[in-house]
Structure 1
Amino acid sequence: MGNKLKAVVVGAVLGVAGAAFAQGTPTTPAAGKADAKAPAKAAAGKAAATAGKTEVTWWGHAAFVLKTPGGATIAIDPWFTNPKAPQGATWPEAVDAILVSHGHFDHVGETKALAQKTSAKVYGSFELVNLLGLPEAQGVGANAGGTFTVKDATIHLVEAVHSSSYQADPKAPSQYAGAPLGFVIEIANGPTLYHAGDTGAFQSMALIAEQFKPTVALLPIGGHFVMDPPQAAVAAKLLKVKTVVPMHYGTFPALAGTPDALTTELKKTRATTKVLALEPGKATAL
């Protein structure tokens, strides 16, 4: 995003998210103002967890936390202070890996703070990981084609069609942050997930389908910066997935696509792909 547009977007975020985002801190309730719904939300998350299943929690926008049957906890694009993030939620206490699709602020999010808190390794493009200034032991810079193993999860870095720049200092120019990425996560005794990152539909999604055979795709549907619902329906067809989890919608006015619109577009193609619209903060077993 350009600096001018970023200023507009950040202004909108501040209006919705308030001081928690401005300070870049976890969205935990202030003293004396505990979220009355927090116990119910926690209970809902526990109820969704199923032994031996892969569990995914959407934090709004493109942010997810994935837990595998083998005990791996993986955070993806952890902008945990976005306007759709679950109110009163605390950050994961333990994270094994953080995947960052590209350098824009709404995807890097709280990567550095989460890495510092959990000692997790951060996986992303070579240029972006270097710009983040992480300890050498934690930064894993790579590119499309790279494959890494985290406990029972095998993570493949794949291409995305987007742009990528990183601005560590709001007063300094943005810097080139390498090529944007998507992630295919193969889970032993579990599903294969594809997090597309920010992207439009592209023909090589058919190659991703052929090579990795993902069953669940986390696809952006908001439009403007990413795919809209008609394009996401095309992507689902190319990927041959059973389930699409919509993401990157509704955070800002420009991201106008909806899960219902995606369902309508899939019906037009007579696809059997199902839309699984997640509730922010609710753990869902796959």
Structure 2
Amino acid sequence: MRTKLMAVVVGAVLGVTGAAFAQGTPTTPAAAPKAAPKAGKAAATATAGKTEVTWWGHAAFVVKTPGGAVIAIDPWFTNPKAPQGATWPEAVDAILVSHGHFDHVGEAKALAQKTNAKVFGSFELVTLLALPEAQSMVGNVGGTFQVKDATIHLVEAVHSSSYQADPKAPAQYSGASLGFVIEIANGPTLYHAGDTGAFQSMALIAEQFKPTVALLPIGGQFTMDPAQAAVAAKLLKVKTVVPMHYGTFPALTGTPDALTAAVKKARGTAKVLSLEPGKTTAL
């Protein structure tokens, strides 16, 4: 098992295709993105005054608020489901990293170096990224930060966390896993669960922050599956669930259709909003 996981890690670093991930064998690195980003075009035409969300596949999102804050979450922009030909955002204010696993840290450090964005995460993980102090926004569950018109709360997640700057080196403990609640002035309140199972304290998140949109993992094995995500949606009392962390690897078998069926079976009221990688959606 360890050998297969290490092969997947090496494959991610090399930017291999989805087929290569399935085989656990690295191939030739992907070509550099071209200058005409699909994500950028979508963002430019999104409805003015709305919160814009672009899914980059897996757990990676870029959120743009009405007040102009640009927030990247778990920016693994080279994942197998990422939009083809899209370039990274040119301007980013904040990068949120839920935990240390490669498929969530992704290109966080390189993106921070490119855009001078501040990186938010656990004390241990952000310290391991070795960024300048001015960009290192360390915290833990209960922490709150302000980024323009977005208030970012660090909340609990039930998952492990380790970080490898070098796939050949031993993994290092990288603090507690986190989720993020993003309260947007004149906009929705988003909850990005990071990697997690369903847990009872999601009801406390609902009571304290009243999220309206939840970005929930549904792949299973390493996170919630669709049935557990349906339970989470009820605990959170959200109006909308955006499924994530599915289909990237063969083990992540959950699907949006299965989530829709699970929500119905659980007599939930949340709408399932399935996003297309690279397409910007106004909330």
Moved more, 95-104 or 3-12: 3-12
Aligned with 1:109 (options 89, 106, 110): 106
Amino acid at match of 1:28: P
Count of residue correspondences: 275
Q: Give the RMSD, CA atoms, in angstroms.
A: 2.2
Task: Find the aligned partners of 1:93 and 1:106 in 2 and give their Cα distance.
Answer: 21
TM-score (norm 2): 0.91
Task: Find the aligned partners of 1:211 and 1:22 in 2 and give their Cα distance.
Answer: 47
Q: 2:71 aligned with 1:74, yes or no?
A: yes
Q: 2:24 aligned with 1:16, yes or no?
A: no
Aligned with 1:206 (options 192, 203, 207): 203
Task: Find the aligned partners of 1:89 and 1:40 in 2 and give their Cα distance.
Answer: 5
Aligned with 1:195 (options 177, 188, 192): 192
Query: For 2:104, what is the secondary structure of its paired residue?
Result: helix
TM-score (norm 1): 0.90
Moved more, 104-113 or 8-17: 8-17
Q: Deviations over 1:214-260 (max 9, x none)?
A: 00000000001000000000000000000000000000000000000
Contact 1:250 1:256 in 2 (8 A): yes
Query: For 2:124, what is the secondary structure of its paired residue?
Result: helix
Unpaired segments of 5 or more residues in structure 2? Answer: 21-25
Query: For 2:241, what is the secondary structure of its paired residue?
Result: strand
Moved more, 216-225 or 169-178: 169-178
Q: Which position in structure 2 is the counterpart of 1:184?
A: 181
Task: Find the aligned partners of 1:24 and 1:131 in 2 and give their Cα distance.
Answer: 26
Contact 1:9 1:252 in 2 (8 A): no
Q: Which position in structure 2 is the counterpart of 1:254?
A: 251
Q: 2:273 aligned with 1:271, yes or no?
A: no
Contact 2:58 2:244 in 1 (8 A): yes
Q: Which position in structure 1 is the counterpart of 2:153?
A: 156
Q: Deviations over 1:169-208 (max 9, x none)?
A: 2221000000000000000000000000000000000000
Q: Deviations over 1:113-159 (max 9, x none)?
A: 00000000000000000100111110111100000000000000001
- How far residue 22 of structure 1 moved from its aligned partner, in angstroms, is 7.6
Amino acid at match of 1:153: A
Percent identity of the aligned residues?
79
Task: Find the aligned partners of 2:64 and 2:244 in 1 and give their Cα distance.
Answer: 18
